[in-house]
Chain A
Amino acid sequence: MDTEANPRLFRLPFKLPNSATARRWGVYFAGVLYALGFWLFLDAVIYSKHANASDVHVTFIDWIPFLCSTFGTIIVSSIEKSRLLQGILSSEGGGLGYLGGDMDSSMAWQARSVLFLGFALLAGGLSGSIVVLIIKFLVKDYTSYPTVGMGVNNVLGNVCILFSCVVLWIAQNMEDEYSYSLTL
């Protein structure tokens, strides 16, 4: 045991999972959630094409929230996380901030605005799907289940994509924190 390096009296009674494996499973889970959202939406589309008894059909309007969520996921997960960290350090003015100077803060500003765009796209996708559900189905009194299911599936799919993005973000930040503390 490595208790001699640790002067604390208590320790965690269970072992936390290894950071790398936890990250790996988190990323797997994010992929599972994304596919779940994708297929929930695609279920509505295929159902509307092949087994629809009502006169409401999925059109391009229903695709827009899904596309927004997907673009938001791509933007949020492909942004470089270290830029944000750099920005935080330099904007606080202490620590390593004076090393970077002006370029760091402008880079961090760019990263933050792009990140904001990504999260706005994600939230817009979710709220857009709810709007489609209300305007296209609930207002026109299509409230019986197999018909309203197309709108509900759209909302659930967008929720799943949002959660996939959140899980991916958490998993990747966990690893970043680990390697960051390793380099310090």
Chain B
Amino acid sequence: MLEFKVSPLTKIISLSGFLAMGFLLVTLSCALFHNYYPLYDVLIFLLAPIPNALFSKRNSSSATFMSDSGMNSSNDFASFLTGMLVTSGIALPLVFRHSQLITSESCVMSMLGGMIIYGSIVTFSWFFNSSWDNEEDDLFS
């Protein structure tokens, strides 16, 4: 099996590069057209990973096998909120474009930038949730 090992430092640097690129795209979409409405998109995409992060932590600490029904419902609420926030982040520039508040270039740029920001945050948490176990293995072997 081909072992493709990336050190955690490289991961952090490349992910922060992606994050900065997303912020750059959104800021550029505001600043190039002197119209700072697309900044709301950053706010929504920054809020989007929060519900899942909060509720999944609480869930894993008390990981009994589906005995608690309250656990399931709060988890549901978190995923409902996640879906809602991600869709609103994508829909917000389109709505602004339709009401002629921003131009279509700025709409595309802010959508792309917001999705890059959200994707890098999700990938960050995903990498480092999974790699903690592996790193422990590396330490003790």
The answer to whether A32 and B87 have CB atoms under 8 Å apart is yes
Q: Does B84 contact A (CB under 8 A)?
A: yes
**B contact residues around A42 at 8 Å (CB):** 95
The answer to whether A31 and B98 have CB atoms under 8 Å apart is no
Chain B binding site: helix, strand, loop or mixed by DSSP?
helix
8 Å CB interface, A135-184 against B: 168, 172, 175, 179, 182
**Tally of chain B residues near chain A (CB < 8 A):** 23
**B contact residues around A36 at 8 Å (CB):** 87, 91
8 Å CB interface, A47-86 against B: 47, 49-51, 82
The answer to whether A39 and B87 have CB atoms under 8 Å apart is yes
Q: Does B105 contact A (CB under 8 A)?
A: no
Specify which of A32, A51, A172 is in contact with B76 (CB 8 Å cutoff).
A172
The answer to whether B83 and A46 have CB atoms under 8 Å apart is no
The answer to whether B100 and A39 have CB atoms under 8 Å apart is no
Chain B CB within 10 Å, residue with most, of A43, A50, A82:
A43
Cα(A7)–Cα(B82), bound, Å? 43
The answer to whether A31 and B66 have CB atoms under 8 Å apart is no
Interface residues as binary, B55-93 with A (CB distance below 8 Å gives 1, 0 otherwise): 000000000001001001000100111111111100110
The answer to whether B83 and A29 have CB atoms under 8 Å apart is yes
The answer to whether A47 and B98 have CB atoms under 8 Å apart is yes
Specify which of A27, A38, A39, A182 is in contact with B79 (CB 8 Å cutoff).
A27
Specify which of A27, A35, A82, A182 is in contact with B88 (CB 8 Å cutoff).
A35
Q: Does B130 contact A (CB under 8 A)?
A: no
**A contact residues around B99 at 8 Å (CB):** 43, 46-47, 49-51
**A contact residues around B84 at 8 Å (CB):** 31-32, 34-35, 38
Q: Does B18 contact A (CB under 8 A)?
A: no
**A contact residues around B91 at 8 Å (CB):** 35-36, 39
Given contacts A31-B83, A39-B88, contact A175 B72 (CB under 8 A): yes
Q: Does B36 contact A (CB under 8 A)?
A: no
**B contact residues around A82 at 8 Å (CB):** 69
The answer to whether B88 and A50 have CB atoms under 8 Å apart is no
Distance of B129 from chain A, by nearest CB (Å):
17
Per CB-CB distance, the 10 closest pairs between chain A and chain B, nearest first, are: A31-B83, A35-B87, A39-B91, A31-B80, A28-B83, A31-B84, A35-B84, A51-B100, A32-B83, A46-B99
